[in-house]
Amino acid sequence: MFSSGYMLLAGAIMLASMFVSNKLKSKFAHYSKLHLRNGMSGVEIAEKMLADHGIRDVKVVAGRGMLTDHYNPTTKTVSLSEGVYHQRNAAAAAVAAHEVGHAIQHAKAYKWLQMRSKMVPLVSIASKFSQWVIYGGIAMMASQQAAGDSPIGRNILIVGLIMFAAGTAFSFVTLPVEYDASNRALRWLKDKNMVTQEEYAGSQDALKWAARTYVVAALGSLATLLYFAKYLNRR
């Protein structure tokens, strides 16, 4: 059903994603060995950053797994993974401060975060079904060629593309949210002298690779959307 061009595109996206993901894990492991001079743990870094910004209604909790750190605006909790919560190194400091950066965005009503939050309900549904709707539309269009032209398959494909486009838009809205959170984290770490120059460089490098995972996801989603849009146009 799919051409070799689609398979090459999917393969290229998968390889790029794997490369950046593995690089991030490697960087995190490397900077996890760079222990903080101030001896503070990830949870202590997060709690101090919250206090310094006057945020007292956000809790820092321990999560499970590795690199599963996140901020939940609904429950107002910063969840730090096992490799961050108790650890006292440059990688843990970077991740903890980054997640608090999201809490600060929430407190300050950062427009890109607000926009992303409003998109979540729609995208959570669209992302689950968009590719299946696209595949269904393509399959129906292929089967209709022998029986004569029919708009049903084409219309289904268009609906699938609209759903997929919502997910793509979400991916790009996420980029300024993530980069801004990292910038807030690094600025605070530096201004408050929380890290040495070497530790700051390590934190900066770790967050740079974390951000690139979102860039790859957004570009991959856009490339896939354009491919299927081109397929529809040819038909």
**Alpha-carbon distance values, 164 to 18, 64, 183, 214 (Å):** 22, 30, 30, 17
Question: How many Å apart are CA 93 and CA 31, to the nearest integer?
Answer: 10
Q: Do residues 177 and 211 make contact, with C-beta atoms less than 8 angstroms apart? A: no
Q: Which two tokens stand for residue 180?
A: 């801004």
Question: How many Å apart are CA 198 and CA 154, to the nearest integer?
Answer: 56
SS (H, E, C) 174-196: HHHHHHHHHHHHHHHHHHCCCCC
Q: Which residue has the tokens 């570009």?
A: 219
Is residue 99 part of the annotated active site? The answer reads yes
Which candidate in 47, 99, 178, 199 is catalytic? Answer: 99
Grouping H, G, I as helix, E, B as strand and the rest as coil, residue 61 is strand
Strand partners, 77: 59, 72
Best CA proximity match to 194, nearest among 55, 29, 48, 38: 38
Q: Which residue has the tokens 């984290």?
A: 185
Which residues have a catalytic role annotated?
99
